[in-house]
């Protein structure tokens, strides 16, 4: 795959050790929890808005870019809502990114938004009712912004999951090297929100009824 040109990196990306990361296994699933460093000046309401307004454009580095390409200026490739209408629970998404700008670490997933509000945003990849991958993002208000915790679950406890899908999830969606690369990528993209989301949210709040 030809990667889009990298966008200018206007702010340092957060390092891996800025977050607390724990990984465990349970009934053939892998559970990853990432406690990000606090997001300053970012509120839960801003995050709820963001997860329903990622498609679109914004001013960045003196020109106009797709918001998704700004979110991670090196790794992100495309983000498409494949169901019509307002983005929210039930919306299907096609997400493509190359972790570390490495084509061999391509993440190409079709997922569905299950929940999005001022407390959490949850997206899931399901097959025949079983969860192949679930990403749960939790937000909690603080005095200066918010606390953000991510829970990634690879696999499911269903019979189909234990017999077949969990192995597929671990071998194809998130083999060990790709999971390690994704953790770093996710810490970088979440940390980057505090650099542009407050201004973007205020800009659109002033213009939307």
Spell out the domain ranges in the chain: 16-201
137, containing H or E segment: strand 130-141
- The set of residues, in sequence order, having a beta carbon less than 8 Å from that of 102 and lying 6+ positions away, is 181
Q: Which residues of the chain have pLDDT under 50?
A: none
Q: How far is CA 55 from each of CA 50, 95, 134, 176, 195, rounded to the nearest angstrom?
A: 9, 11, 21, 30, 18
Nearest Cα to 182, choosing from 27, 9, 11, 34?
A: 34
**The pLDDT value given to residue 207:** 72
pTM of the model: 0.95
Q: What is the CATH number of domain 16-201?
A: 3.30.530.20
pLDDT tens across 13-63, in order?
999 999 999 999 987 999 999 999 999 999 999 999 999 999 999 999 999
Percent of the chain predicted with pLDDT > 90: 92
């Amino acid at each position: 795959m030809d990667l889009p040109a990298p966008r200018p990196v206007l702010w340092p990306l957060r390092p891996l050790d800025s977050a607390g990361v724990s990984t465990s296994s349970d009934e053939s699933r892998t559970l990853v929890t990432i406690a990000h460093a606090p997001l300053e000046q970012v509120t839960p309401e801003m995050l709820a808005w963001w997860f329903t307004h990622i498609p679109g454009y914004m001013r960045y580095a003196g020109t106009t870019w797709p918001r998704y390409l700004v979110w991670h200026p090196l790794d992100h490739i495309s983000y498409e809502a494949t169901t019509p209408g307002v983005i929210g629970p039930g919306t299907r998404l096609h997400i493509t990114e190359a972790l570390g700008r490495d084509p061999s670490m391509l993440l190409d997933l079709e997922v569905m938004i299950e929940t999005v509000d001022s407390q959490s945003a949850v997206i899931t990849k399901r097959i025949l009712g079983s969860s192949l991958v679930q990403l749960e993002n939790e937000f909690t208000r603080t005095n200066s912004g918010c606390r953000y915790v991510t829970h990634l679950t690879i696999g499911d406890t269903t019979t189909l999951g234990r017999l077949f899908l969990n192995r597929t999830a671990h071998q194809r969606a998130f083999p060990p090297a790709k999971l390690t690369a994704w953790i770093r990528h996710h810490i970088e993209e979440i940390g980057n929100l505090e650099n542009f989301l407050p201004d973007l949210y205020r800009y659109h709040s002033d213009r939307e009824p």
